[in-house]
Amino acid sequence: MGRLIHGIGLIIIGLMLLSANQPGTVPERPDDAMKITIIYDNYPGSHPLETDWGFACRVEYLGDKLLFDSGGKADLYQKNAEALKVSPEDFPALFISHAHGDHTGGMGWIVERNPSIMCYLPATFAMQLKNRGSLPERYMAVAEPTHLFGPFYSTGDQFDQFPEQGLVVRTGQGGVLVTGCGHPGVLEMVSKVKEEMGIGLHAVIGGLHLLRTSDREVQQIAEELKQMGIRYICPTHCTGDKAIGILKASFGEGYIAGGTGTEIVIE
């Protein structure tokens, strides 16, 4: 059975019973754990970093790692990244979920610092950059579900409601879906991963774009997610305060609080 551990800016999702950490202690992080560190978010974490509308994180698993999205303001992304000791030079890849400015603001700084970084771009966004003459040196335009490298997969950006790609991390305990805004709908994205990619998910992390969704609909979404095998959820960024509250109540110990500087460890 899984438990969440809330430490100083650190949350561990485990497959064994663990006790809460005492203040000032740092939980042990197994070498085979997946780690997500939120670099940019409009919600504060326990780390004293500045917040702003947008989202970005780093994702690591079994030695493979990438940067996910890049927030809204390049200078703030840089400031937070440096505070968290995140150097673009140390990452082989940047994954951009969609074209909105609150997810692409720091992209230029990242590519400037690491010109050889591979940029995995939604096909629609890659076309926009091509038309503007601003494509990075190394990129892949992703339209369909695709294996990127190591444990990392993309859903592709071909959804009915909105062109956005989700990142799927395939771990030994199941898949984790990381979303930028979830504009296509979280149920649609989870369903695509399961039905078209053949990957069972147990966690969803990121923006879910439920700001204008009724309480009843959010509750229904929560129930359907659990029926689809989702045990853990970290709804942040554009999910909305009320929706986050409903998801927290529905998932109980499976709820994970987001926020700038928060580190999530999935064993």
DSSP collapsed to 3 states, 117-164: CEEEEEHHHHHHHHHHCCCCCCEEEECCCEEEECCEEECCCCCCCCCC
The reported pLDDT for the residue numbered 173 is 85
Q: Which two tokens stand for residue 163?
A: 């062109």
The reported pLDDT for the residue numbered 19 is 23
Task: Report d(CA 71, CA 57) in Å as an integer.
Answer: 9
Select from 56, 45, 39 the least CA-distant residue to 103: 56
**Strands ordered across the beta sheet of 146-149:** 146-149, 152-154, 167-171, 174-179, 201-207, 232-236
Q: Which two tokens stand for residue 242?
A: 């009320």
Q: Which whole-number Å values give the CA distances from 256 to 146, 171, 218, in the listed order? A: 28, 18, 17
Q: Judging by beta carbons within 10 Å of its beta carbon (0-12, 13-18, 19+), is residue 125 exposed, middle or buried?
A: buried
Q: Domain spanning 30-266: which superfamily?
A: Ribonuclease Z/Hydroxyacylglutathione hydrolase-like (3.60.15.10)
Strands 55-61 and 34-41 turn out to be: antiparallel
- Find out whether 95 and 103 touch, Cβ atoms under 8 Å: no
* Predicted model pTM: 0.90
- Find out whether 157 and 163 touch, Cβ atoms under 8 Å: yes
Which stretches in the chain have pLDDT values below 50?
A: 1-8, 15-27
